[in-house]
A and B are shown apart, each in its own frame.
Chain A
Amino acid sequence: MKVRLWREEKMIYVFGSLLIISFMKHKDILLNKKRNLVLFLILSVCGIALGVVRMIYPYVPSIAYILEKYLK
């Protein structure tokens, strides 16, 4: 049986952990200014949301596929 060590769909957990580490690392900068924290949270949520959608629907059609369908 072929064992796959590398699974793209599991990357979301790696990114999630990295975000927590990054938050801890830049704690002072993020907590000192509200704007920094809000920006970090918004971007992180956007990234994670894209990852979750990708994990739930791995075969979601790409923008190129949709454009191709409508332009041709």
Chain B
Amino acid sequence: MNKLITMRQVVFMYLFISLSPVLRQVPTALAKQAGRSGYLSPFWSLMVIVPLSAIILLLIRSYPGLNLYEIMVYMGGKIFAKTFIFLYIIWIIVFLSAKINAYSLTLQFTLMPKTRSDFFMLVILLLVYYALLRGSKTIFRFSELALGPIFLLIAIFLLCALSRLRTDYLLPVSTINLPSTIKASKDILAVGGNLILILFFSDKIGISLTKKQIRKFWLGSIVFVIFTFVITIFTFGITGANLTKNLPFPFYITVKSISFFNIFERFEVIVTIMCVLSDFITICIMFLILLRLIDWLFDIEERGFLFLPLGIIIYYLTYYISTTQFEYNFIYENLIVNVNLVFQYIIPMILGLLSLLKHKNVKKQF
């Protein structure tokens, strides 16, 4: 069997692609919906992320060595599988367009306000094309290598910011705030649900999951929740929930006020780079998935010729989805979050239920 990627790489990829939405969109969304108590929402999201992780593990264990499409084919036949694959294609195209939009808006907001967004889009598409030429393994390895230093840098920032944390921005929180924190956890779930991307690569992980692999998988989902909690608490504690809810990139503003023993300052550029890298990996992974989905839908053998037409569609679609930061925020909060929940939770849940009903263990022959 051609074992291409490890569970560690997939989990690191999941955490890496979660970086930019957690730094950029989650604090704003939580502040808008739950005010100063928004930092409690990550704990509620754990109640949904844990069952989702269990469903993914159930599917991988019940159908070892198979990917999402093959699992769907075994469950409901080819028409059933291809219908869902078609829906996933539409979701990925919309997701990709929105992601490219977010990436160019981030660069415009932080480093290059005078540069036109189409320039950023073209550059990222060229870089993605180059990365895809190198193969999927390169993309997974990049996230595996880069995640550690990024987490270390964030830890240093937070250590430096500890003295600036204001408790009056975080407390008091009472039981009255609980319903709003539960509702706000939806925004974390829309990011944490990226865990299902593992199912698209499950045929490349291996036939049987070892205890170590399962532990890594669980650790990935728990690290995501802890990371979200820490970023939110620091953003709220330094910038304040009232200001956070009006900012497009609150963590960037938070890091602006941090200095390392009053010697080194202006770390915000590093935050922008982190987000850009995370967006780059997300776009690469989504392109890989999109090409795989088209391959499954049309049974094609070669995929290289698809990149350019798909790139053109996605490039122009970014303009049709949103053009300004306000429009992007609106579409993210009202459309993308809800659509993500459908594709990341409801469809896998249906598959999990079908898997439990069928009790069918299939071993792929290699």
Contact = CB atoms under 8 A, between A and B. Distances in A.
Contact of B305 (A6, A29, A46): A29
B298 A35 contact: yes
Contact of A19 (B116, B302, B312): B312
A50 B316 contact: yes
Interface residues on B, range: 20 to 34
B316 A47 contact: yes
B321 A30 contact: no
B163 to A, nearest CB: 40
B330 interface: yes
A33 B299 CA distance: 11
A62 B321 CA distance: 5
A22 B328 CA distance: 32
B320 A63 contact: yes
Given A62-B322, A67-B330, A39 B316 contact: no
Contacts, number: 97
Nearest to B294: A39
A8 B316 contact: no
Given A8-B116, A36-B300, A62 B309 contact: no
Interface of B: 116, 118-119, 122, 294, 298-302, 304-306, 308-313, 315-317, 319-323, 327-328, 330-331, 334-335
Interface of A: 6, 8, 11, 15, 18-19, 22, 25-26, 29-30, 33, 35-36, 39-40, 43-44, 46-48, 50-51, 54, 60, 62-65, 67-68, 71
Given A6-B118, A67-B331, A71-B334, 12 more contacts: A11-B122, A18-B308, A33-B301, A39-B306, A40-B305, A46-B313, A47-B316, A50-B316, A62-B320, A63-B335, A64-B328, A68-B327
24 contacts: A6-B118, A11-B315, A15-B308, A15-B312, A18-B308, A19-B308, A22-B308, A25-B305, A26-B302, A29-B305, A36-B302, A39-B294, A39-B300, A43-B309, A43-B313, A46-B313, A47-B309, A47-B311, A47-B312, A50-B317, A54-B320, A64-B321, A65-B323, A67-B335
